[in-house]
Structure 1
Amino acid sequence: MLMRTTTKSKAAVSMKRAPARKKAIKSSKENLEDIFEDQLRDIYWAEKHLTKALPKMARAAFNDELREAFNTHLDETRMQIVRLEKCFELLEKKAMAKKCEAMQGLVEEGEEAIEEYDEGHARDAALIAAGQKVEHYEISAYGTLRTMANVLGKTQCAQLLEETKEEEAQTDVKLTRLAEKINHLAAEMQEEEVE
């Protein structure tokens, strides 16, 4: 006797698994607003977390210019937090932070550099690398947020986000210039140790 097996289509199975309650379908604009607010909370946490990390990086820097760059960026970061709070105000939302796993990981890289390398040019090179990763993350985040703000018609918020993005880009350029000098010094020190 032949037994016939039946297989349900994936669609039939997934329909059974669908939740019993139905959610109201939001318009694309409402979804984008939710994403925008979520991303604002994410970068808000990131900037607040960075205000704790930058002083440690500045203290760990061997090169005076690098130390000054970290301290200057700390002041800028505090102003960036004020701008983010202004964006929340413009949205008529409470400024709330949402843990940013990406920034936490990037900051941990900077902390590892401090622990793993003795004070000197090699540590500075590692600190710059960690700092530039942070800057690139922030440039990307602020560019994305600015674009969303423009699409949503939040022009004042978009201007504030663009201002911050430009500051982040300037910091990245400053770190690149320092890296060109400090990386050479670190390489020279390594050559001297080998000889």
Structure 2
Amino acid sequence: MSLDSLHDLYVDELKDLYNAENQLLKALPKLAKSATAPELKAAFTEHLEVTRKQVERLEQIFTALETSPKGKKCKAMEGLIEEGKDVLEEDGEPAVIDAALIACAQRVEHYEMAGYGCVRTFAKLLGYEDAEALLQETLDEEGEADKKLTELAETVINLEANDAEGEEEGDEDDDEGGDEPEVPPKRGKTSPKAGSKK
């Protein structure tokens, strides 16, 4: 496809998102099945239903454009899903695997938020008000999903993963005072300054 106008770019990016969402529809059931925490299983299952609605919205937009949504493969989503598959093949503590699954899922959410933010802005500039509203709705849902995953990580999953690690270390270090909290190392002057790469 030749990108000669913002409209061309808009359609190209929409096709990329359409393919990304369809890849995700296949991946989410596997993530839900592999998660051990009931709350995480529920979050993945819920997002599967949300993703189906997001695909329908994209199809609405393509119908209005009188264009097929097919014809592009989202390589970024393919890579993100591959990383998730790698986690599913790992052995380890269930809580730690759950924490890794959340990390993978949040990478996906952030990628989608970036993509939907761009096409929403393109729709606005091109005067596609209905599409802009639909894309904003999806963007809001992706942001909400990301917040839910963060809350789940911070209140349940990461804590359990940390406890699992602590139990293993405690068993090994019983004779060495392993119960004492570890003091994080101080940052030296060699650490990069925030905002130094602009």
TM-score by length of 2: 0.82
Contact 2:93 2:161 in 1 (8 A): no
Aligned to 1:140: 114
Give a deviation string over 1:97-117, Cα, whole Å, max 9, x none: 410010011111111111113
Structure 2 gaps of 5+ residues are 172-198
**Aligned equivalent of 1:129:** 103
The structure 2 residue matched to 1:189, chosen from 130, 144, 164, is 164
Check conservation: 1:61, 1:119, Cα contact below 8 A: no
Q: Superposed, which structure 2 residues align to 1:1-195 within 5 Å?
A: 31-118=5-92, 120-180=94-154, 181-194=156-169, 195=171
Task: Report Cα offsets for 1:49-72 as digits up to 9, x if no partner.
Answer: 000000000000010000000000
Structure 2 residue identity aligned to 1:75? E
Identical aligned residues as a percent? 48
Q: What letter is aligned with 2:113?
A: I
Deviation at 1:118, TM superposition (A): 3.3
- Superposed CA deviations along residues 157-187 of structure 1, whole A, max 9, x for unmatched, are 1110000000000000000011112111101
Give unpaired runs (5+ residues) of structure 1. Answer: 1-25
Aligned-residue CA RMSD (Å): 1.4
Q: What are the superposed Cα offsets for residues 109-147 of structure 1, whole Å, 9 maximum, x if unpaired?
A: 111111113361000000000000000000110010000
Give the aligned partner of residue 10 of structure 1. none
- Residue by residue, what CA displacement relative to the aligned partner does 1:3-57 show, whole Å, maximum 9, x if unpaired? xxxxxxxxxxxxxxxxxxxxxxx9x9x6100000000000000000000000000
Higher radius of gyration, 1 or 2: 1
Q: Give 1:22's aligned residue.
A: none
- How many residue pairs get matched? 168
Amino acid at match of 1:177: E
C-alpha spacing 1:172/1:39, structure 2 compared with 1 (3 Å): same
